[in-house]
Amino acid sequence: MPITRTAISDDDGSGRTGTVIDNAWKQQFYDQIDALYGGGVPAAWTARPFVAGNYTGTAPLVWAATAGQIITDRYCVIGGKTLLWSFSCSGVTLTGAAGGGLRIQMPIGAAKGSITVPFAYGFNGTAHQTHSVSIQATAPYVEIIRQDYGSIAPMTGLYMNFNVTIELA
């Protein structure tokens, strides 16, 4: 959504009189804003439609997500290279046997580099658990892992919430 570029003028309000005042300065200001956002202002937030296959467990752990469990899954891309992503789910049930983690398909593209980021909150219905969002270069998903790299066990009532900024490949 580009900025609407307008000139400053000493018009009398009719839109038909007056002269342009310092338009070069205002255009330079617009150019600086465009440069800051990689050629355009951030796009609006996009909510992802629910697709069960976007949310999986690492075998043998099973995450059979339902639409009602996914509270927030939305993203915004800035300048074609920066992904802002907000995700939360509640009441998640994990079945099967303990596995390495939970995978969530990225809403767009793949990450340029790898990083592990602690996320805001994880709760399994009984105790708080410390988890991280693991982002691997060129992978089309992020993986929720335990901070101590242990296996995530089957459970009910898991709540997760993260907000990440990812450089896209």
Number of domains in the chain: 2
Phi-psi region of 91 (alpha: psi -120 to 50; beta: other; left: phi over 0): left
Whether residues 20 and 51 share a domain: the answer is no
Write down the pLDDT at residue 31: 76
pLDDT score, position 71: 96
DSSP state string for 61-89: EEE---GGGEEEEEEEEETTTEEEEEEEE
Instruction: Report, as ranges of residue numbers, the positions in the chain whose pLDDT lies below 50.
Output: 120
The CA distance from 161 to 55, in Å, is 14
Specify the CATH number for the domain of residue 80: 2.60.40
Q: State residue 13's pLDDT score.
A: 66
- Identify the pLDDT of residue 131: 72
Neighbours of 10 (CB within 10 A): 9
Digit-coded pLDDT (tens) for 12-58: 666 666 666 667 777 777 777 766 665 555 668 999 999 999 999 98
Of 129, 70, 61, 67, residue with least CA distance to 95:
61
Same domain for 138 and 64: yes
pLDDT at 11: 66
Q: Give the model's pLDDT for residue 120.
A: 47
pLDDT of residue 56: 92
Give the domain range for residue 115: 46-167
pTM: 0.71
